[in-house]
Structure 1
Amino acid sequence: MGIFTRFLDSVGIMSGEPAAAAVRQPPVSGPILAYETYDLNDPRLLELMREGRTGVSGIAVNDRKALRNSTFFRAVWLQSASMGMLPVHLRRRTGDKVEKATDHPLFNVLHKKPNDFQTASRFKAYMQMCALLDGGAYALKIRSRGHVRQLIPLERGSCKPRLTDTWGLVFDYQPKKGGSRVLMADDVFHFGSPLTLDGLNGLGLLDVAADTLGLAIRAQQAASRLLVNGTIARGALETDETLGAEAIENLKASLREDYAGVGATDDWLILEEGLKAKLFAGSARDSQLVELMKREAEEVARFTGVPRPLLMFDETSWGSGIEQLGLFFVTYCLMPWFVIWEEAIWTWLLTPQEQLTMYAKYNEGALLRGSLKDQAEFLKAALGPNVGYLTQNEARDMQDRNPIDGGDELPRPGTTAHSIMQEEQADAA
């Protein structure tokens, strides 16, 4: 019940009583309150303000209702979990050489421990989910000795970016307790959806897909009403004769006793009195409901960009196309988010001096490895003596194996690893 609803109900209008009846109420001692006040930190006020996005269906769609849609949940889960499980490394470029900046404090923040209560995968998955649902994700930077040591995710809906009169970026932050405050841009790590209408706030799925999700909820409600209130009978018994009340009761009792339950599956009825069995076929109305639910699932898939088979409602067999599906998912669904994360880390977590030589890089190879046969063919070509572009240690690192001595040199054209070793031994002698 909203604030104004409470006011109207307090004077008797919402309860159906005429206004005059409310005036004729006997006097009471003490002050009369015609409204109910909320503290700004009252969770009931926050729930009232977050009622949801109301679309053409008349359904107020919020995050909990949206995630009850299996297609929407699967799409959000896939993207969030994938971004969470893939490693992101801080790299340093020194001359012509690029290496992991394992000695930098930010490396462990991004790769292992972003804060004291979340793992790296859980933090990345949560931030990605916020960006998908709301269009933006925000985390407070905790510094020590000039470096970011922790990233504390801010509650959804509590932070909003804006530009000052001097075109500076600040964030209006409303915590659970206490008054609102203004956070400077240097104190917040943030990124958002690539689509935005004002250049600051990204478009979230809950906003753009409100109509589709609302219609999907309506379709589910219609199906539930059909199951609860409708007639789900498989057929009917009909006859040209007239059955008496006793015969009808005997027939019902026989059906309940002899042909009900799991043990009666696929049993045949023995009909008397000229009865004939007639099976019901699916009605046009039921077929339209099924088609509507399929159509809304496809609409949700379009909004999220996840391929149909990965959402588990495609009726065709995947077959040998599973590798291409993974490539499609990474290229057209996750790749934009890789760039968004990498740019946000470079912009908001590195100092101007560090930005000259350092950058962040997502490793999407975990989703593109393919089968062991495919990996073997790839490494064979990458380590080949004529066109090799990987060293032995780089290839071993991709398989989580320890480096070996002498494995940091590229193979020379026209030679083999054995001949190279013999040449090095001869030179050393």
Structure 2
Amino acid sequence: MSIFVRLLEAIGIASASAPPIASRPAPVGPIMAYNALDLSDPGLLEMMRDGRIGVSGLSVNERQALRNSTFFRAMNLIAGSIGKLPIHLMRRNGKLTEKASEHPLFNVLHRKPNDYQTASRFKSYMQLAALLDGSAYALKIKSRGAVRQLIPLARRSVKPQLSDDFVLTFRYTRPNGTVVTLQADDVFHFSTPLSLDGLNGVSLLDVAADTLGLTIKAQQAAARLLTKGTMARGALQTEATLGEEAIAHLKQSLAEGYAGANAEHDWLILEEGLKANAFGYNAKDSQLIELMKREAEEVSRFTGAPRPLLMFDETSWGSGVRELGLFLVTYCLMDWFVIWEEAIWMWLLTPEEQKTFYAKFNEGALLRGSLKDQADFFKAALGPNGAWLEPNEVRESFDRNPIEGGEGLPRSGTTAAAIAQADKPDDKEGSENGA
């Protein structure tokens, strides 16, 4: 049987029990597999091996990659952070900005993107798809000119295409195998910050395949050492010949008198001219632990997540949780905030709406810090010298109901300003000295 026939059998067009191709009647219509699957297409090799082959010689797919604790923690940290942070559709009203809660897209982004996912599940899935594959795609369901739902499209089922006259379309392969062309206005999509062709983002699995493959190799070596390797600390050697009874007595003596943690510093009392020879090779000498630590650090560099948040216990936590949150937002998540906000503005709003509407992530949940830090911040925000927050805005940050008189910035002489002024130690001491 030729390799071509085997390939047809693998994709369901031919079978071993079917008559030879030459004896079959000619098909009525074209065989779609020839049109949809080009043998020179790099995607064919990707489909057959289902992974990325690195210097280790292993094919690394997403399931193997997510078994790596560092990689899983980084993906969960980034995708989970994007999922839990709310996205608000905002409107510019002159010099003021406000939440556009009456716009249909506001509910799609903030509450219910479709009939089977919550907003956090949708955002986490799209973010993880972008990290693993380089791009994420969702189908737009419209009604009366507005986007009412966003349906995530299966990973690796969409391929962007740019025509000679620079018209963007998307080649989408449905679950049943049929291929359709989607117009740019039908698809919500975004990619990783890096791209080699301006259309497809760089996949994290592609660039980290070498590191992940070596990590898998190190884990396999450690597993072989623990399951099949020699873990004994040494051997007892003698020139005399020991009988079965003597060997059994020696084993029993070692098990009863020198086993367990309490015998860690005991000395063996040897008979029959026995000599103790320690093995020079052990698990520590193999340097597997050092190799696995090094590869874990390499994985953390690819993801950009802060080392303390990846549970590297030998790293410093800095001066507080707030600083870690600031590091995560500034050097890891900020790029994704901009990508999401620009994609929403470009693909989910009409040209007329783009003049006044925009999307905004609320990253404040990651920057709140401790209760003391929050108290100091809001005290300064309500202070008499240049207040920039209203009392009800502060209460809203803690999910508290507004109070009467809580609108407007505090002014000198008001209750809020007086309380903030009285809480300042320097001012209190100055008033007492002046009295």
Q: Supply the AA of the counterpart residue of 1:171.
A: F
| Cα RMSD after superposing both structures | 3.0
**Alpha-carbon separation, structure 2, partners of 1:377 and 1:241:** 80
Q: Supply the AA of the counterpart residue of 2:193.
A: P
Mapping of residues 184-263 of structure 1, within 5 Å: 184-239=183-238, 242-255=241-254
Among 255, 259, 266, the alignment partner of 2:262 is 266
**Alpha-carbon separation, structure 2, partners of 1:65 and 1:4:** 30
**Alpha-carbon separation, structure 2, partners of 1:47 and 1:95:** 52
TM-score, structure 1 as length reference: 0.83
**Alpha-carbon separation, structure 2, partners of 1:140 and 1:243:** 78
**Alpha-carbon separation, structure 2, partners of 1:123 and 1:225:** 40
- Which residue is equivalent to 1:62? 61
Q: Supply the AA of the counterpart residue of 2:170.
A: F
CA deviation map 1:195-229 (0-9, x unaligned): 00000000010111111111111111111111121
- Which residue is equivalent to 1:336? 335
**TM-aligned CA deviation for residue 400 of structure 1:** 1.3
- Residues 1:211 and 1:167: Cα distance change in structure 2 (over 3 Å): same
Query: What secondary structure does 2:97 align onto?
Result: strand
**TM-aligned CA deviation for residue 397 of structure 1:** 1.4
- Residues 1:419 and 1:66: Cα distance change in structure 2 (over 3 Å): closer
- Residues 1:4 and 1:120: Cα distance change in structure 2 (over 3 Å): same
CA deviation map 1:130-151 (0-9, x unaligned): 0100000000001112111110
- Which residue is equivalent to 1:156? 155
Query: Does residue 1:123 correspond to 2:122, yes or no?
Result: yes
**Alpha-carbon separation, structure 2, partners of 1:344 and 1:283:** 54
**TM-aligned CA deviation for residue 166 of structure 1:** 1.8
**Alpha-carbon separation, structure 2, partners of 1:386 and 1:138:** 48
- Which residue is equivalent to 1:11? none
**Which contiguous aligned blocks of 4+ residues in structure 1 show a shift greater than 6 angstroms?**
257-260
**Alpha-carbon separation, structure 1, partners of 2:5 and 2:220:** 26
**TM-aligned CA deviation for residue 80 of structure 1:** 0.4
- Residues 1:146 and 1:227: Cα distance change in structure 2 (over 3 Å): same
**TM-aligned CA deviation for residue 191 of structure 1:** 0.5
- Asked whether the equivalents of residues 225 and 283 of structure 2 are also in contact (C-alpha less than 8 Å), the reply is no
**Alpha-carbon separation, structure 2, partners of 1:118 and 1:384:** 43
Unaligned runs of 5+ in 2: 8-16, 23-30, 38-43, 419-435
**TM-aligned CA deviation for residue 399 of structure 1:** 1.4
**TM-aligned CA deviation for residue 160 of structure 1:** 1.0
- Asked whether the equivalents of residues 384 and 417 of structure 2 are also in contact (C-alpha less than 8 Å), the reply is no
- Which residue is equivalent to 2:70? 71
**Alpha-carbon separation, structure 1, partners of 2:417 and 2:208:** 62
- Residues 1:257 and 1:47: Cα distance change in structure 2 (over 3 Å): farther
- Which residue is equivalent to 1:20? none
**Alpha-carbon separation, structure 1, partners of 2:397 and 2:63:** 39
Query: What secondary structure does 2:194 align onto?
Result: coil
- Residues 1:415 and 1:405: Cα distance change in structure 2 (over 3 Å): same
**TM-aligned CA deviation for residue 192 of structure 1:** 0.7
**Alpha-carbon separation, structure 1, partners of 2:209 and 2:150:** 31
- Residues 1:47 and 1:274: Cα distance change in structure 2 (over 3 Å): same
Query: What secondary structure does 1:386 align onto?
Result: coil
**Alpha-carbon separation, structure 1, partners of 2:18 and 2:226:** 52
- Residues 1:249 and 1:419: Cα distance change in structure 2 (over 3 Å): closer
- Which residue is equivalent to 2:414? 416
**TM-aligned CA deviation for residue 280 of structure 1:** 5.2
Mapping of residues 3-402 of structure 1, within 5 Å: 6=6, 31=19, 48-49=47-48, 51-239=50-238, 242-255=241-254, 264-267=260-263, 271-275=270-274, 283=282, 286-316=285-315, 318=317, 320-402=319-401
CA deviation map 1:148-172 (0-9, x unaligned): 1110000000001111222111100
**TM-aligned CA deviation for residue 178 of structure 1:** 4.4
**TM-aligned CA deviation for residue 405 of structure 1:** 2.5
**Alpha-carbon separation, structure 1, partners of 2:248 and 2:4:** 56
- Residues 1:71 and 1:310: Cα distance change in structure 2 (over 3 Å): same
**TM-aligned CA deviation for residue 257 of structure 1:** 6.7
**Alpha-carbon separation, structure 2, partners of 1:4 and 1:94:** 64
Aligned length: 390
**Alpha-carbon separation, structure 2, partners of 1:119 and 1:408:** 33
Query: What secondary structure does 2:189 align onto?
Result: strand
**Alpha-carbon separation, structure 1, partners of 2:378 and 2:255:** 68
**Alpha-carbon separation, structure 1, partners of 2:18 and 2:328:** 66
**Alpha-carbon separation, structure 1, partners of 2:369 and 2:416:** 30
- Asked whether the equivalents of residues 238 and 273 of structure 2 are also in contact (C-alpha less than 8 Å), the reply is yes
- Which residue is equivalent to 2:13? none
**TM-aligned CA deviation for residue 404 of structure 1:** 2.1
**TM-aligned CA deviation for residue 410 of structure 1:** 1.1
Unaligned runs of 5+ in 1: 8-28, 421-429
Q: Supply the AA of the counterpart residue of 1:98.
A: T
Q: Supply the AA of the counterpart residue of 1:123.
A: F
Q: Supply the AA of the counterpart residue of 2:344.
A: I
**TM-aligned CA deviation for residue 417 of structure 1:** 3.0
**TM-aligned CA deviation for residue 317 of structure 1:** 5.1
- Residues 1:59 and 1:114: Cα distance change in structure 2 (over 3 Å): same
Between 1:328-337 and 1:398-407, the stretch displaced more is 398-407
CA deviation map 1:56-100 (0-9, x unaligned): 111111111111111111111100000000111111111122111
Between 1:236-245 and 1:356-365, the stretch displaced more is 236-245
- Asked whether the equivalents of residues 318 and 324 of structure 2 are also in contact (C-alpha less than 8 Å), the reply is no
- Residues 1:154 and 1:292: Cα distance change in structure 2 (over 3 Å): same
- Residues 1:419 and 1:337: Cα distance change in structure 2 (over 3 Å): closer
